[in-house]
Structure 1
Amino acid sequence: MARSALMNVMTQAAMKAGRSLTRDFGEVQNLQVSMKGPADFVAHADRKAEEIVFQELSRARPDWGFLMEERGAIEGRDPQHRWVVDPLGGATNFLHGIPHFAISIGLERDGQIVAGVIFNPATDELYSAEKGGGAFLNDRRIRVAARTKLAECVVATGIPHLGHADHARYLFEARKMMGEAAGIRAFGSTALNLAYLAAGRIDGVWEHSLQPWDVAAGSMLVREAGGFVTHSDGSKFEFVEGDIACGNEIIHRALVGELKKAATAMRGTPQPKAEDADAPEAAS
């Protein structure tokens, strides 16, 4: 597959950061059995991968700005272009020695995402898409799955962190989805959820409490693979923090319908006051 100069820049940055994460992933697995604990090491690996991406992209396009998970917003001299970077999507998986994590790089042009790359160094899978050029897994063209019945579909989501404000909402939605879909999966990486959807491995994705770097590259992949991307209420997807619902045209419509039903059910159910709620149990 012949890549554009832009995609070559993004791919090289992601793969170089991926090599760094692969080395650190080997170390973090050794730290699991040590007294030191790996959390600080993982944070360092995250920052190191981000620095690699920053340096590679800055060298190739010195005037472009950045929006990065760790560094935040960095203004560039070119106001039209901005890189949107998550150097380690799936950090909790990485922390626990689970080989399901990714580097995500999206390119924003005039407020719209026009290209994206997601790389899982543990599996050596590179997902890429450029507006109007289709979506690819390594050198193979990919498309969203063609299933039309939610009852035959596997749908991925993200489980909110313990005590998160959206926990009650998620429980209503998950209960609704479990009664309609063939299976629900929580893989632990929004970026790879979207990449798997684009590759036809799963059939739908819905998630909440997302940041722009969580979905920049993945939303481009899904669209270029023939999928639909909106907010969970079906409204136009804006490139800001919030929620997302994706699938092929039919499954996307079904997902949004079930999410709306869950929202209606939640509004009709009295919610416990904070002082009445049980204290959360420690995560197992």
Structure 2
Amino acid sequence: MIDETSLLQMMTTIATQAGERLLAVYSPDARPANMQEMLDAARRNERVSSDGTRDALRKLLPDARFVDGENETAALPDDGDWWVIDDAEGSVNHVHGLPDWGVSIALVRGGRPVLAVFRQPVPDLTYTATLGGGAFVNGRPLAVSAKQGLEIAIVGTGQAEAKQAATYSAIGASMTALLGAAFLVKATVPSTFPMLLVAAGHMDAFWQYEPVLPGVAVGSLMVTEAGGVVTTISGDPWAPGDDTILVGAPGVHPAVRDALALLRKTSA
């Protein structure tokens, strides 16, 4: 059995190698002109980054399974290990010449993330977290913000998957509700980036409706280990498979939860 420290180091190496492959096909001058160009570039990114990644992870833990397809939105069994990966997270940003893209790898054990790595080649950032061992970026400890309340808080949400009209309505209503209470409200993709900003204290809260596990597994552990709070939007403990997630600094999370709870009561 590989100890968690060694396992995290090996995960970091694998994510770094995948990130280098993506960096080799990245250009800050990329400007796709149509949908076909975007799709072609996104498929290239998946192919380039995933080359060898799963095989390398299988060698680390031969009995571990991979979260794919329906498992991305389903509760996971409490037994066994699960790899949760996104070979090219933020690919839409990559193909448009933006820097918010990278490679995420999380290990879920006992129904919750226990190890996490996110490699962002531009600008050379490596985020790591271990359950009970803290969260770090390039070896420096992460810590959520010390803000109290919403009036000076920077908060945000993420876009849902395609063809989810009801979810789009919930996102729009939630942003409207928070625009009247928070200092600043953002909407961005992919979800990992605002969650990393919460863990680093640059943002104060983030919520999402209908998240997929590869988009929130790494970020949820980063926030928890940086001293933040991770729940569902209703305030219950979050677990893989839940249909909402809310992460935030302890002094801001309750106010966002209450604002979103009031929104649910109004729309009921």
Normalization by structure 1: what TM-score?
0.84
SS at match of 1:150: coil
Looking at structure 2, the residues matched to 167 and 106 of structure 1 have their Cα atoms a distance apart, in angstroms, of 27
Q: SS of the residue aligned with 1:210?
A: coil
Cα shift at 1:150:
0.8
What does 1:12-161 align with in structure 2 at a 5 Å threshold?
Answer: 12-26=13-27, 29-30=29-30, 32=32, 37-68=37-68, 80-160=80-160
Partner of 1:218: 219
1:194 maps to 195
Post-superposition Cα deviations, 1:163-211, rounded to whole Å, max 9, x if no partner, equal 5321111121111100111101223210111111111111100111211
CA gap 1:36/1:220 in 2 versus in 1, 3 angstroms: closer
Indicate the structure whose relative CO is greater, using CA pairs within 8 Å and at least 6 residues apart. 2
> What SS is found at the alignment partner of 1:118?
strand
CA deviation profile, 1:17-38 (whole Å, cap 9, x unmatched): 1011111222x94463699623
Structure 1: which 5+ runs fail to align?
Answer: 74-78, 268-284
Instruction: Work out whether residues 172 and 263 of structure 1, in 8 Å CA contact, stay in contact via their aligned partners in 2.
Output: no
2:157 partner letter: T
In 2: Cα distance, 1:103 partner to 1:170 partner: 26
Q: 1:32 to 1:131 in 2, by over 3 A?
A: same
Who is 1:233 aligned against? 234
Which structure would you say has the larger Rg?
Answer: 1
The residue type equivalent to 1:138 in the other structure is N
Against the structure 1 CA distance between its residues 71 and 232, is the aligned structure 2 distance closer, same or farther, given a 3 Å change threshold? Answer: closer
Amino acid at match of 1:110: G
Work out the CA distance in 2 between the residues paired with 1:250 and 1:36.
45
Q: How many angstroms does 1:71 deviate by? A: 11
Please report the TM-score for the alignment, with normalisation by the length of structure 2: 0.88
Q: How many residues align?
A: 259
Post-superposition Cα deviations, 1:235-283, rounded to whole Å, max 9, x if no partner, equal 120211521111122211111100011112222xxxxxxxxxxxxxxxx
Residue 242 of structure 1: aligned partner: 243
- Per the alignment, residue 76 of structure 2 pairs with none
Residues 72 and 213, structure 2, Cα contact 8 Å, conserved in 1: no
Aligned residue for 1:5?
A: 6
Unaligned runs of 5+ in 2: 74-78
